[in-house]
Homo-oligomer: A and B are copies of this chain.
Amino acid sequence: MPRNLDLTALRSFVTVLETGGVTRAAQQLHLTQSAVSMQLKRLEEALGQPLLDRAGRGVAPTAQGEQLLAYGRRMLTLNDEVWARMTDKAFEGEIRVGVPHDIIYPYIPDILRRFDREYPRVRVQLISSYTLKLKDMLQGGEADLILTTENDTPADAECLTTQELVWVGARGGTAWRNRPLRLAFERNCLFRPWALEALDRAGIGWEMAVDTNSVRTVEATLSADLAVHAMLEKVVPGQLEAINHGGNLPTLPSSRINIYRAHAAVGEPVDAMANMLRHAYRGVAVAA
């Protein structure tokens, strides 16, 4: 008494019912008619009951055959799926994802981990840069999928979420009370001009506490409570916090997180990555 079905025979069985004949099925499967016939016989013997009703024209499944057909289809679907995932060209290669460095945390690391589980044969290259640079790279074919932080959503993009820009500083810090307000921004940070403009409009004096291109420097300055910074509300790292300034600092504009996909970027892995990003930031997956 065997315990495991033979997927080859099962495929023959399903094909016989789908093509309506042993001979046709055999052709489609590139086997001889007798081989398929014997597979059917083996199946029936193994399960100890008739599966096909050969009465007259064509073949019809018996009641038990119906059962096996349903299960068989599901099993073959799984088989084909895993087979595709493990060997299909479409599931290997590289996918280049660009993310502004200020929104890498907290979602991206987890997404990369999960993606690698799902598509182990796809190498993910994470590009961390500025929104403008990322858009250039997408144009230049150097990235397949990018996230951006912008104040609107162009037609070729999709908005994942709109988030408030907030003032942040060290946990429990007081740097935000100082005047002129001491700021820490990277030179190319997209939010820097937004913050400055908001302060100017509110008539609050300010000065740059650091002049750097390093995120680390900014972080260190903020952690030491020497300056304040602006970032999206949902991505404030643990050692910092949104400043509860009670109106002493101006409200900052909101920003959108958009996703762009290169025209050339097609295939299930890219779809899946896009969906994971959507799901993380928007909380909603989009059907493929």
Cβ-neighbour of A5 out of B3, B82, B85, B117 (below 8 A):
B82
A87 interface residue (CB < 8 Å to B): yes
Q: Main SS of chain A's interface residues? A: helix
Which of A59-67, A159-167, A220-228, A242-250 participates in binding chain B? A59-67
Chain A 73-93, CB-CB to B under 8 Å as 1, else 0, gives 011101101110111000000
B68 to A86, Cβ gap below 8 A? yes
A5 to B7, Cβ gap below 8 A? yes
| Nearest chain B CB to A31 CB, angstrom units | 12
A85 to B63, Cβ gap below 8 A? no
B66 to A82, Cβ gap below 8 A? no
A21 interface residue (CB < 8 Å to B): no
A120 interface residue (CB < 8 Å to B): yes
Bound CA span A66–B120, Å: 9
Within 8 A of B (CB), among A128-171: none
Of chain B, the residue at the smallest CB distance from A70 is B82
B64 to A86, Cβ gap below 8 A? yes
Q: A6-B7, A7-B4, A11-B4 are in contact. Are A82 and B63 (CB under 8 A)?
A: no
A125 interface residue (CB < 8 Å to B): no
- Number of this chain's copies in the assembly equals 2
A71 to B78, Cβ gap below 8 A? yes
A contact residues, total (Cβ < 8 Å) = 34
| Nearest chain B CB to A71 CB, angstrom units | 4
Of chain B, the residue at the smallest CB distance from A6 is B7
| Nearest chain B CB to A210 CB, angstrom units | 41
Bound CA span A6–B85, Å: 17
B62 to A82, Cβ gap below 8 A? no
Cβ-neighbour of A63 out of B6, B47, B116 (below 8 A):
B116
| Nearest chain B CB to A232 CB, angstrom units | 32
A213 interface residue (CB < 8 Å to B): no
Bound CA span A67–B67, Å: 27
| Nearest chain B CB to A114 CB, angstrom units | 12
Query: Most chain-B Cβ atoms within 10 A of its Cβ — which of A49, A75, A117?
Result: A75
| Nearest chain B CB to A104 CB, angstrom units | 22
Chain A 1-41, CB-CB to B under 8 Å as 1, else 0, gives 00111111001000000000000000000000000000000
A66 to B117, Cβ gap below 8 A? yes
